[in-house]
Amino acid sequence: VAARAGQAGQVELLVVHGADPGALDQQGNTPSACARLSGHREVSQRLIELLYEVPDRLTYFLCRRRPDHTSGQHFLVPEIADCLETPQLTKEARSKLQQ
């Protein structure tokens, strides 16, 4: 309902309090699709960002890049060269975990 009405603040609050930004309604639409179909592009885009927030953080950690959700690129695959060099902070974090 909040996405369809373009209520950006309500959408943020709902997600912060545990609402699933990928949940489907009775017609099979996601909140992002409902917002887009109702003409609320910014709310739709924000819902897509919220949906991929955790994978984006992991992707940035692995690849040092962020996916471009506006072009439909939601995931990045790390290249081998990216994995060969381990940053010092990563080495320190791993050693702390192993202790």
Contact 51, 44 (CB under 8 A): no
pLDDT in tens, 22-49: 899 999 999 999 999 999 999 999 999 8
Which CATH number among 1.20.120, 3.40.50, 3.10.350, 1.25.40 corresponds to the domain 2-98? 1.25.40
Q: Average of pLDDT values for 50-64?
A: 80
The pTM of this model reads 0.62
Give the pLDDT confidence score for residue 3 in this predicted structure: 92
Give the pLDDT confidence score for residue 35 in this predicted structure: 95
Whole-number average pLDDT of the chain: 83
Contact 70, 45 (CB under 8 A): yes
